[in-house]
Each structure stands twice: as structure tokens, then as C-alpha cells.
Amino acid sequence: MIRSVALVLLLLLPLTSISAAELNLYSARHYDTDFSLYDRFTEDTGIKVNLIEGGSDALIERILAEGELSPADILITVDAGRLWRAAQAGVFQSIDSPTLNARVPQYLRDPDNLWFGLSKRARVIAYRKSEGLPAPVTYEDLAKPAYRNRVCMRSSSNIYNLSLLAGMIETAGNEAAMQWAQGVVQNFARAPQGNDTAQLRAVASGECGVTIANTYYLGRMMASSDPADKAVVAELGIVFPDQDGRGTHVNISGAGVTRYAPNKPAAIAFMEYLTSEFAQRLFAEGNNEYPVVGKATGPISELGDFKEEQINAAIFGKRQAQAVMIFDRAGWR
Ligand SMILES: [Fe+2]
């Protein structure tokens, strides 16, 4: 009798402790589609999702400040360089989930399973079609004399360019990365300023001839009904760089289970749910990104298929300090 009661308890405990529970999600994403994602999870599991939104770095600081008492179960943020920083600071714990390991390609997750990529963005070249410049085919092209005074770029302190350069350091070495950064700086049409959207607008207006931007900024403009956005898109030629070589640089939105997660089983269940077909589609579409499982949908699917570089995303973090140093020496502010 005692044994069977114990057995029943054993069988019931994990279920009841999950189903009665709540999940605290710290997210740097703010898209309407995310709410449908959370609702479906609650319907399927009975687990209530509490959302705490904030900027990426602010959320990381908050989790660290809360320490062992942090109510956070999961942190969702963007760019592997930032996920790596969070991991270095001790924000995450390693997760052993056969589902996540099977669904998230190895190069899009931390080697110790501290974080997992959930959607992808490609860093593409946009150029002004009407300008008659040679269409670039590689990132290296942007350092060539053909683009003198025509390149606009975002600041080097931004994580996207740090991750891009970190990838180059990994594949081409410090020296080649330095030469590239110096060449691009020589080609600047103006001092680095603004976000990726600002670069795309500057290319369309003719202030510059070429830039680099993440695909979701393009997707947003392609989906926009604003005539000004349509005019920008009409001016742009889009290139997925390095298609004959190592492939286009891709980065991720991703998430990890926090080190002191009060509800680890629910957190893992939620992470697994995010890699389901249903969740992947909403998660990626919410920000015009590529899913890590399945094909692109929405406006960016019009950009077509491309070959992506498959170096492990953790490299973008590991090489970050070197990237900072090279940008600094090259005078890329
Ligand atoms: Fe962004």
C-alpha cells in the first residue's frame, strides 16, 4: 500500500508541479505574435506565462542583480555575441534536452547547451541599383577602391558588426579582418551612425551606395504599406554575400534557461515548444526572421534561398574582444 502510494506520488509529482506552475519569461522581444505563442503553450500545458519585457542588456543586468533569488526561468534575446556575454556572466544553466539537440542545428547553439538559437537573421549587402556601382558579391568587396566614399555602416560598438567581424577573424584570420576593416573605413561616405534601417535609407537616398543590414530590417520595409518604405525597397539591390565561398553570415535570436530558474521543468518544456513547427513559424514571422526549423515565410521568403556560413555562433562571442580591438585600430567608430 505504502509502496503504491509512493509510486502514484512519484508519477503525479512531476506533472502536478509543472501544470500548477508558472513560467517567468524575460524577453527582449516585443512582437504581437509572441502573445499567441504564449497562449498556445498555456492551453497545451496549463502553465501560465508571465512576461517581463526589457532591453537585452538591461534584462541581463537585472537577472545578475537578482542573483539566486531571480524569478526568471528563461531569457530570450538577440545575437549570439550577446547570448555569449550573458553565458559568460553566469546567466544560464546547461540543458540536456534530446528534443532541442535534435531540432536546433549544432552551429546555432552553445557547445555546452547554455543557449539555443530559435530564429536566424542574415547580414546582407544592400546597394543602390541606380548608381551603376559594380554589384558586390562578398563582404571583402566593400573594402575595395570601387566603393571609395560610398560605404555607410553602423557603429562598431553595435553587436551585429562585432559578430560579423568575429566570424571573419575565425575564418580568415586577424590580419585579413584588419585589412577588411581598414579598407571599409577608407570607403566610408560618412561617420558611422544610425541603425540598420538608417543605413538602408541612406543608400536609397544616394547619400551612400552600399551598406550591410540584417534581413529583418528589409523584411519590415518590404511588409510596410508606407510609400516612403516602398520607395526605399525599390532602390535597393540585395546580395547574399559569399555564395561561392563560405556563405552569408547568419546570427540568431535565442534563449536559455536561467541558472536559478524556479521552474526548470517548465522552462525546458517551453524551450522545446519554441522549436515546434507552430511556434517556429510565429517566432520567426514576428520579426521577419528565418526559422531554425523549416523554411522562411512572409516577406523575406521573397529574397530567396541562400547558402549560410555554418561556424558555431559561440565564436561570435569568443572573438568579440579581438573584433573590438580591430575596429578600434582601424578607426571604425
Ligand atoms: Fe536589430
Within a domain: 307: no
Cα-Cα-Cα-Cα dihedral sign, residues 79, 84, 90, 96 = positive
The pLDDT of residue 9 is 43
Q: Do 278 and 164 belong to one domain?
A: no
Are 150 and 173 within one domain? yes
Encode pLDDT of 28-42 as tens digits: 988 888 899 999 999
- CA 79 / ligand 1 centre spacing (Å): 9
C-alpha cell at 187: 570607403
Identify whether 306 is part of a domain. no
What is the number of domains present in the chain?
A: 2
Cα 81 to ligand 1 centre (Å): 13
User: Do 115 and 144 lie in a common domain?
Assistant: no
Indicate whether 152 belongs to any domain: yes
Distance CA 37, CA 279 (A): 6
User: Looking at the domain assignment, is residue 308 inside a domain?
Assistant: no
Could you tell me if 242 and 181 lie in one domain?
Answer: yes
pLDDT reported for residue 20: 55
* Residue pair 242/248 in contact by the 8 Å Cβ criterion: yes
Ligand 1 centroid distance, CA of 197 (Å):
9
Q: Which domain holds residue 11?
A: 2-120+252-301
Cβ of 228: how many Cβ atoms within 10 Å?
A: 10
pLDDT at 33: 86
Going from the C-alpha of 226 to that of each of 87, 197, 208, 233, the distances in angstroms are 40, 14, 22, 11
Q: Which residues of 250-265 are buried (b: 16+ CB within 10 A; e: fewer)?
A: bbbbbbbbbbbbbbbb
Same domain, 30 and 71: yes
Q: What is the pLDDT of residue 12?
A: 47
In a domain, 198, yes or no: yes
Q: How far is the CA of 33 from the centre of ligand 1 (A)?
A: 17
- pLDDT, mean of each 10-residue run, the chain (333 residues): 43 46 94 91 96 95 97 96 95 98 98 98 97 93 97 96 97 98 98 98 98 98 97 97 97 98 97 97 95 95 97 97 98 97
Residue 110 and residue 197 in contact, taking contact as beta carbons nearer than 8 Å: no
Q: Are residues 190 and 323 both part of a single domain?
A: yes
**What's the 3-state SS for the chain?**
CHHHHHHHHHHHHHHHHHHCCEEEEEECCCCHHHHHHHHHHHHHHCCEEEEEECCHHHHHHHHHHHHHHCCCCEEEEECHHHHHHHHHCCCECCCCCHHHHHHCCHHHECCCCCCEEEEEEEEEEEEEHHHCCCCCCCCHHHHCHHHCCCECCCCCCCHHHHHHHHHHHHHHCHHHHHHHHHHHHHCECCCCCCCHHHHHHHHHHCCCCEEEEEHHHHHHHHHCCCHHHHHHHHHEEEECCCCCCCCECEEEEEEEEECCCCCHHHHHHHHHHHCCHHHHHHHHHHCCCEECCCCCCCHHHHHCCCCECCCCCHHHHHCHHHHHHHHHHHCCC
Compute the distance from residue 7 Cα to the ligand 1 centre, in Å: 50
The phi, psi pair for 252, rounded to 5°, reads: -130, 155
**Do residues 132 and 244 share a domain?**
yes
How far apart are the CA of 12 and the centre of ligand 1, in A? 44
CB-count exposure of residue 239 (10 Å: 0-12, 13-18, 19+): buried
Cα-to-centroid distance, 28 and ligand 1 (Å): 11
Question: How far is Cα 139 from Cα 137, in angstroms, rounded to an integer?
Answer: 7
Whether 40 and 69 share a structural domain: yes
Distance 69 CA to ligand 1 centre (A): 30
